[in-house]
């Protein structure tokens, strides 16, 4: 690997942004995408490359304008109906992009994130689809490839894969616990 040959990379943060590829249960085409990411993880670890995998879960500015309706992502809020996957009660995690950037930058030199997974699961941002709809009914306003989003949404909104596991210290750390001084956007 070029990173190993260069010999001067202090920390590698591969494009892991999204759900944890080892803890979601998805279908194709997302399953094929995640299998590639998982292979890259194993290679990084086998080569002894210092790394931090960043799992920020759902990009708020991608999913929330359509109120989590992946069939309407990019179209804005639904005007008369919304597609709810499953019963709508599985919890999902949504993080605003500027918060993702802030936590990622903070983690780059943090020894607590070395060779770990940095999970972004701000407690106030773990909500079900039904809760999102209820919030939308009380408020308003906000603004992406459908087949991948839909297959990911199945694991998120039916399986609850983003918020349905304990973060074990042997493999990961949670961003809001590491950096309680950062005020995330709810």
The pLDDT profile of the chain, 186 residues, written as one tens digit per residue, is 677 788 888 999 987 778 888 888 888 888 888 898 999 999 999 999 999 999 988 887 777 766 766 666 766 677 677 888 889 898 888 888 999 999 999 999 999 999 999 999 998 888 888 888 887 777 654 334 444 555 556 556 656 666 667 888 888 888 889 999 988 887
Q: What fold characterizes domain 13-178?
A: UDP-galactose 4-epimerase; domain 1 (3.90.25)
- 89 Cα distance to chain centroid: 18
Q: 32-71 burial by CB neighbour count: b if 16+ within 10 A, else e?
A: ebbeebeebbeebeeeebebbbbbbbbbbbbbbbbbbbbe
Model pLDDT, residue 155 = 58
Model pLDDT, residue 144 = 41
**Are the CB atoms for 9 and 50 separated by under 8 Å?**
yes
Q: How would you classify the pairing of strands 91-95 and 126-128? A: antiparallel
Per annotation, catalytic residue among 37, 81, 98, 183: 37
**Are the CB atoms for 132 and 67 separated by under 8 Å?**
yes
The DSSP code sequence of 25-45 is: ---TTHHHHHHHHHHHHHHHH
Model pLDDT, residue 145 = 46
Is 10 labeled as catalytic in the residue annotation? no
Handedness of CA 121, 123, 129, 134 (dihedral sign): negative
pTM of the model: 0.70
CA–CA separation, 6 and 57 (whole Å): 31
């Amino acid at each position: 690997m070029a990173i190993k040959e260069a010999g001067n990379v202090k920390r590698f943060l591969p494009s892991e942004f999204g759900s944890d590829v080892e803890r979601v249960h998805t279908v194709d085409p997302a399953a094929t995408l995640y299998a590639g990411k998982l292979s890259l993880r194993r290679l990084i670890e086998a080569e002894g490359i210092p790394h931090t995998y960043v799992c920020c879960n759902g990009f708020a500015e991608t999913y929330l304008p359509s109120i989590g309706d992946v069939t309407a992502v990019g179209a804005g809020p639904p005007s008369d109906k919304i597609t709810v996957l499953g019963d709508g009660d599985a919890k999902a995690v949504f993080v605003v992009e500027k918060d993702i950037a802030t936590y990622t930058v903070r983690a780059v030199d943090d020894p607590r994130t070395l060779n770990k997974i940095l999970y972004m699961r701000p407690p106030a941002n773990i909500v079900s689809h039904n809760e999102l709809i209820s919030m939308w009914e009380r408020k308003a306003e906000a603004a992406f490839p459908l087949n991948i989003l839909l297959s990911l949404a199945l694991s998120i909104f039916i399986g609850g894969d983003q918020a349905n596991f304990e973060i074990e210290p042997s493999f990961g750390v949670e961003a809001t616990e590491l950096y309680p001084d950062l005020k995330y956007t709810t």
